[in-house]
Amino acid sequence: MIAISAEKTNAIQAIFSRNKAVIGVIHCDPFPGSPKYRGKSVSGIVERALRDAENYISGGVHGLIIENHGDIPFSKPEDIGHETSALMAVITEKVRERFAVPLGINVLANAAIPAMAIALAGGADFVRVNQWANAYIANEGFIEGAAAKALRYRSMLRAEHIRVFADSHVKHGSHAIVADRSIQELTRDVDFFEADAVIATGQRTGDSATMEEIDEIRAATELPLLVGSGVTPGNVRQILGRTQGVIVASTMKVDGVWWNDVELARVKHFIERLLSEHQQAWQAMQRHRFVVDIEEDRLPAAVFNRYLVFEGNFVATAIAIFALGVSKAPDIHQQRWLIGVLNALVDTQIAWFEQVLSERRIDPAEYPADLPAVRRFRDGMLWTAQQGSYEQIVTMMFAAEWMYYFWCQRVSERRQSDADIRRWVEMHAEDAFYQQALWLKNELDRCAIALSEKRKAGAVGTLWRCSAVGN
C-alpha cells in the first residue's frame, strides 16, 4: 500500500520543544486601508505589537501569533490588500529580531496564502487558518476551505517548514451547509488535508469550546489539539489536561477586553504572589545572622568552616532532588536543562568543596554527622521530591536559588577579607547562577498557568516550608 503523505512529526514538539504550549495572540492595531485606521504611524503600530509581545513573553508564554485583528470588518481572502501583507511581515520580522520564541501568523479572514507569504518573509514557524477544509457562512460571507490553494502555494515557495494550525468547526459563523456531518468528520477532513495541528474554538472570540466538543475532536485525530478561544485561569487546567496547547488573548488584556493592551500582571502573577504573601519570611531569610555577618565581614572562620562541611554534604541531597526532577519533568526541554545542572553540581560544586576543605585543613570527621535542623531540612526536601510533583520540585529549587542569588548579589557589593568566603559569595552572585535561578522562576510561572488554585496553594506551602530552616 502506498502512503498518500509522509508521517507527520508532532508540530507542538517540533516548534516549541515541549509537549504542551501556551501561545499568546498579538492583536495588531488597525492597518492603513482598514475602516478603523485613524492615521497611526507604522512605527507606532509596530511598537504597540512589540510591547504586547514583551508582556506575553515576560509572563512566560511559549510562543506568539501575530494577527490583523484591528482590521474589522474583515475582508475575504481575495480582497486582502498588499499593505496588510507588507505591514504584517514587518511586524513579524521585528518581533523575531527581539524575541527568540516561535511565531505564527493569522491573516483574517481565512487568508492562508498571504499568511504563508508573511510567515516566509518574517521568519514565522506556522500559520493559523480558520477554514482549512469544507466551507461555512462567516461574517464575511461564504468562505471555502483554503487547503488546496495554500498547500500548492507553500510548495511553490519551497516553504514546507511552515506548519499549518487549522480550526475545526471555526468560530464566528454558521455551519448549516455541513450540518449533516459531525464535528469528528469535519476534524478528520482537516487532518486528511494535511494540517499539522487542530484548533477547537467556541462560537466567537472569548468563548471556549465545550469539554464535550474538545473530547469529540480529540477522538477524531492524532494531530496535536489546541483550544483557540475562551481560555481563562478558571478552565485552563481542565483544557490542558485534554489538549497539547492553548491560544490566549482576551483574558490577558486590560479588563479582559481583546482590543486593549496585554497586561503583564494578568500574564504573570504567580511568583509575585509567592513573594508578597510571605514577605516577612523572605525578609527574615535575607537578614539572617549568617548573611549579615558575611555582609559586615565579621563571620568567624570556625562558623564558615562548619557551614562548608554541612553545605558540602548537602550537595548529595541536591543531586538526588535534581535527579528526581529529571524523572518527573514533562518533556525533553526540561530534562536537558536539569541534566545540565546535575553536571554542574557534580563537576564544579563538589570539586570546589573538596578543594576548599583541603586548603583550609578541614576534616569533616571532626564535625557532627548531622544537626537536628539540617536533618529536618534535608529529609523534608527529599520526601517532597520523592512524593511530590514536578512543580513542587521546581518550587524547592527556586526557593533556594532565588534566595541565595538575591542576598549574595547584595553582599557582593561589600568587602569580604576571607578569600574563600568572597569566592563563595561571587559564585552565587554571578550571571550564570542568576540565569539558572531565572529559568526556575520562568518554569514555575509556566507550570502555574495549568495549576488549580489548590495546587498553587500547595506550591506556596512547599516554597516556604523548605526555606524555614534558614530562619
Which candidate, 171, 274, 270, places its Cα nearest to that of 213? Answer: 171
Check whether residue 82 and residue 218 sit in a common domain: yes
Query: In this structure, what is the dihedral angle of CA atoms 187, 190, 195, 199, given to the nearest 10 degrees?
Result: -40
- pLDDT at res. 281: 64
Q: Buried (b) or exposed (e) across 177-189, using 16+ Cβ within 10 A? A: ebeeeebeebbbb
Rounded CA-CA distance 408/429 in Å is: 5
Check whether residue 60 and residue 91 sit in a common domain: yes
CATH number at residue 421: 1.20.910.10
Rounded CA-CA distance 149/137 in Å is: 19
Contact by Cβ (8 Å): 129, 154: no
Q: Does 298 fall in a domain?
A: yes
Check whether residue 350 and residue 420 sit in a common domain: yes
Check whether residue 255 and residue 322 sit in a common domain: no
Check whether residue 68 and residue 95 sit in a common domain: yes
- pLDDT at res. 396: 81
SS3 label, residue 21: strand
SS3 label, residue 26: strand
Check whether residue 33 and residue 110 sit in a common domain: yes
Q: Does 142 fall in a domain?
A: yes
SS3 label, residue 65: strand
Rounded CA-CA distance 244/252 in Å is: 20
CATH number at residue 157: 3.20.20.70
Give the pLDDT confidence of 310-347 residue by residue, as tens digits: 888 788 888 888 899 999 988 887 888 889 888 887 78
Q: pTM of the prediction?
A: 0.59
- pLDDT at res. 351: 86
Check whether residue 286 and residue 261 sit in a common domain: no
C-alpha cell belonging to residue 79 = 480582497
Domain C-terminal end among 221, 252, 275: 275
Helix orientation angle between 112-122 and 82-98, rounded to the nearest 10 degrees? 40
Q: Does 85 fall in a domain?
A: yes
Give the pLDDT confidence of 237-246 residue by residue, as tens digits: 778 878 999 8
Number of domains in the chain: 2
C-alpha cell belonging to residue 108 = 483574517
Check whether residue 443 and residue 308 sit in a common domain: yes
Among positive and negative, which fits the CA dihedral 414, 415, 421, 423?
positive
Q: Does 4 fall in a domain?
A: no
C-alpha cell belonging to residue 196 = 499539522
Q: Does 193 fall in a domain?
A: yes
Side chain identity, residue 302:
A
Q: Does 297 fall in a domain?
A: yes
Contact by Cβ (8 Å): 456, 270: yes
Q: Does 1 fall in a domain?
A: no
Quote the domain boundaries for residue 156: 11-275
Pairing status of strand 135-138 against strand 141-144: antiparallel
Q: Does 5 fall in a domain?
A: no
Check whether residue 234 and residue 267 sit in a common domain: yes
As averages over each run of 10 residues, the pLDDT of the chain (471 residues) reads 59 86 92 94 96 85 93 91 96 94 95 98 96 83 90 97 90 55 90 96 67 91 92 76 86 64 59 51 76 92 91 83 89 86 82 91 82 74 84 83 86 92 91 83 70 53 47 41
Check whether residue 325 and residue 179 sit in a common domain: no
Where does 329-371 have alpha helices with state H?
332-344, 350-359
Rounded CA-CA distance 344/436 in Å is: 11
Domain C-terminal end among 241, 275, 309: 275
Helix H or strand E segment including 395: helix 390-411
Check whether residue 34 and residue 56 sit in a common domain: yes
Check whether residue 236 and residue 329 sit in a common domain: no
Side chain identity, residue 420:
D
Domain C-terminal end among 259, 275, 291: 275
Q: How many CA atoms lie within 13 A of 227 on its CB side?
A: 29
- pLDDT at res. 253: 67
C-alpha cell belonging to residue 19 = 509537549
Residue 165 CB partners (closer than 8 Å, separation 6+): 11, 104, 126, 127, 128, 129, 195, 196, 197, 198, 199, 226
